[in-house]
Amino acid sequence: MSKKSTKDILTSPFLITVYAIILMIVFLFFKFKTNEGIIVNSFEEKNKSSWSCSYDFFRGEKKSNMKGKGDDLFINVMSESGEMNIKVEDKNGKILFDQTVSNLDDSGESIDVFNIKVSQEVKVSIKAKNHKGDFKINYRDLEDFSKESKEGIFLYGETHDYKGIKKAEVDLWGKYYKEYGIRNLFIEDSYIDAQFLNMWMKSDDDKILNELYDDCDGTLAHTEENLNFFKEIKKKYPETVFYGTDVCHTYKTGGKRYLKYLEENGKVGTDDYNRSVESIEQGKKYYADEETGNKYRENIMVKNFVDEYEKLEDKRIVGIYGTSHVLPYSNDYFNEIPCMANQLNKKYPKILNIEGACTLERYPKYKDSEYRYYK
């Protein structure tokens, strides 16, 4: 067996492949390396009051000087993997906000939403460590909310199956209920579901609630945690009034049952009856059209929200929805049309306040921060 020469070894197919891989890595490193670090497939938009960027990979630091008319800064970070630190300072270098967000276990995507009080000129620093996702930072000109305020919309986004989130939302609702006297709670359920809930709030047993629970079997709403959410609301905050603004997902069960109740009580032709029929038709249309159903639903949620809100005498409400519905500068979950809050923000730009319910639980330091818009 002949001994291979050094030349033969260095020019072997295996080593040539290794050389090629090394060269490719070096090429990609210099192709995507910038003075801000390494960033792959990025798309960035920036002006004085707004800054957004999406990318497949980011490791490094970005900075921006921002200036806005108001003194509220909305921060939204979507993380598929890795981590990111967001730091906000005033022009004198005082730290107003400093938070690291992450999705280190790579389990789907994590969305964090912050709403903070800032000065009208700030310096924002983004430090990413192997982060995949995007961020959006915008100034918002919101009216200050107090006990004397006549109107205010507070939307909270949740990940529906986030463990412990419903218990946290009971406490969140309790703060508005006790400290500000707010009684109107908007939820991601239908008009009919909300009517049933309001009936149950005045009843002596849980028959109605258990029927609603059975209606949603097989969905993310069919959990003991969700059931206990309503029980805790009834026990601790009995004057709560629910408003449902989604399509009627349970038109074959709860929808039929509510119409039967109205018919048996001589309420055919009333506003309640007509709105219930409309809610059922919305549900049917949503499930009948796979191609445009999601766009239809998002727009209907906006319509129903506005209809309910404009009829209120006390225009101070809290709303709890899936996070994909409550990001004021984003499209819906399927990236087809502006999401519910995006559309509502155009109609109620001064009074629409948004935070992440899951964010409050994940980052307790933020929840207790003096710079939160609402404490």
Q: Nearest 5 degrees, angle CA 238-CA 242-CA 244?
A: 165
Place of tokens 């949620």: 301
Q: Give yes or no for residue 325 having a pLDDT over 70.
A: yes
Q: What pLDDT was estimated at residue 1?
A: 47
pTM: 0.87
**pLDDT category, 106, cuts 50, 70, 90?**
low
SS3 for 21? helix
CA dist 1 and 18 (Å) reads: 26
Q: Contact 208/341 with Cβ under 8 angstroms?
A: no
Q: Give yes or no for residue 7 having a pLDDT over 70.
A: no
63-68: average pLDDT: 96
338-349: average pLDDT: 95
Give the C-alpha distances (Å, rounded to integers) separating 251 from 127, 218, 277.
48, 15, 9
Strands 37-40 and 50-67: antiparallel
137-152: average pLDDT: 91
**pLDDT category, 327, cuts 50, 70, 90?**
confident
Q: What pLDDT was estimated at residue 9?
A: 55
Q: Contact 174/237 with Cβ under 8 angstroms?
A: yes
Span of 26-40, 55-69, 181-195 with lowest mean pLDDT: 26-40
In the chain, the domains with their CATH numbers are 37-140 (2.60.120), 151-367 (3.40.50)
Q: What pLDDT was estimated at residue 272?
A: 97
73-79: average pLDDT: 94
Q: Contact 158/323 with Cβ under 8 angstroms?
A: yes
Give the C-alpha distances (Å, rounded to integers) separating 217 from 226, 252, 372.
12, 13, 37
Q: What pLDDT was estimated at residue 125?
A: 97
| Percent share of the chain, pLDDT over 70 | 89
14-22: average pLDDT: 64
Neighbours of 152 (CB within 10 A): 23
Q: Give yes or no for residue 6 having a pLDDT over 80.
A: no
**pLDDT category, 5, cuts 50, 70, 90?**
low
**pLDDT category, 30, cuts 50, 70, 90?**
very low
Q: Give yes or no for residue 26 having a pLDDT over 70.
A: no
Which of the given ranges, 218-227, 272-281, 336-345, has the highest pLDDT on average?
272-281
239-247: average pLDDT: 98
Q: What is the pLDDT of residues 273-306, one digit of tens each?
A: 999 999 999 999 999 988 899 999 999 999 999 9
Q: Contact 180/342 with Cβ under 8 angstroms?
A: no
Q: Contact 97/146 with Cβ under 8 angstroms?
A: no
